[in-house]
């Protein structure tokens, strides 16, 4: 069951990637006057920010969920930007372990970007995902940001907190792949390390398609 949920999220991600790769080239090609390549590199279409990215993944996930006929899928929902604390998860089987979770995260209550859970069963969360949409702002430090999210995902999954059954890291690079190949390579190297060392599912895509017509 949990593996199926993870596969559904992967499929939703693949649908988003196809959607982006199909639509983004149309925007830059139809802009009047036509954008120069450097202007297109600076443009952000479809996902103006991280919230847009999680929304698109969520809508594709629900499309896939609607096709499931088995009753075990009927009470599943996806939630965004939720604090993991006793206010939101009172009565859940892991409520007593939330203080341990805070200890692991330097005394902070974490906010999860995306949660998949049963609505009528206070069990461990089926899946937690952290989502990053990189845009190259001056405050952005990609590798430390990735590491911080991986620390949270490990804490959700590990045996002494056991908040979530599955954890996924999602990254959409809407800047470095097109602007800064050195940093883009470091990002990809770090994601490979995470895949190999931590057993965390990693989903990655870039906005390369917005330059397709140049």
Evaluate whether 128 touches 156 at the Cβ level (below 8 Å).
yes
The whole-number pLDDT of residue 28 equals 80
Q: Is pLDDT above 90 for 9?
A: yes
Q: Which residue has the tokens 């804490």?
A: 155
pLDDT in tens, 96-144: 999 999 999 999 999 999 999 999 999 999 999 999 999 999 889 999 9
The whole-number pLDDT of residue 176 equals 96
The CA-based dihedral angle spanning residues 110, 193, 61, 132, taken in that order and rounded to the nearest 10 degrees: 50
Which residues, at least 6 apart from 175, have a Cβ–Cβ distance to it below 8 Å?
Answer: 134, 135, 136, 207
The whole-number pLDDT of residue 141 equals 96
Environment class of 49 (CB within 10 Å of its CB; exposed 0-12, middle 13-18, buried 19+): exposed
The H or E element containing residue 9 is helix 2-30
The CA-based dihedral angle spanning residues 49, 51, 55, 56, taken in that order and rounded to the nearest 10 degrees: 20
Domain boundaries, the chain: 2-211
The whole-number pLDDT of residue 112 equals 97
Evaluate whether 80 touches 114 at the Cβ level (below 8 Å).
yes
The whole-number pLDDT of residue 157 equals 93
The whole-number pLDDT of residue 34 equals 82
Which residues, at least 6 apart from 89, have a Cβ–Cβ distance to it below 8 Å?
Answer: 95, 98, 122
Nearest to 131 by CA among 109, 151, 110, 146: 146
Q: Give the three-class secondary structure for 53.
A: helix
pLDDT in tens, 170-208: 999 999 999 999 999 999 999 999 998 877 999 999 999
């Amino acid at each position: 069951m949990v593996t199926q949920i993870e596969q559904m999220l992967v499929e939703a991600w693949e649908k988003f990637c196809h959607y982006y790769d199909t639509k983004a080239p149309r925007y830059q090609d139809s802009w009047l006057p036509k954008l120069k390549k450097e202007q297109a590199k600076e443009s952000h279409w479809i996902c103006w920010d991280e919230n847009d990215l999680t929304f698109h993944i969520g809508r594709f996930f629900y499309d896939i969920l609607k096709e499931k006929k088995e009753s075990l899928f009927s009470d599943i929902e996806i939630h965004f930007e939720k604090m993991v604390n006793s206010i939101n998860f009172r009565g859940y089987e892991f409520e007593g372990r939330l203080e341990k979770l805070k200890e692991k995260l330097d005394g902070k209550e974490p906010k999860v970007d995306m949660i998949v859970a049963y609505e009528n069963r206070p069990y461990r969360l089926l899946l937690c995902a952290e989502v990053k949409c990189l845009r190259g702002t001056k405050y952005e430090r990609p590798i430390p940001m990735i590491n911080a999210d991986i620390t949270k995902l490990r804490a959700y999954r590990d045996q002494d907190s056991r908040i979530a059954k599955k954890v996924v890291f999602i990254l959409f690079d809407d800047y470095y792949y097109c602007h800064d190949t050195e940093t883009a390579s470091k990002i990809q190297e770090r994601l490979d390390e995470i895949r190999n060392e931590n057993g965390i599912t990693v989903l990655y895509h870039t906005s390369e398609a917005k330059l397709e017509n140049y």
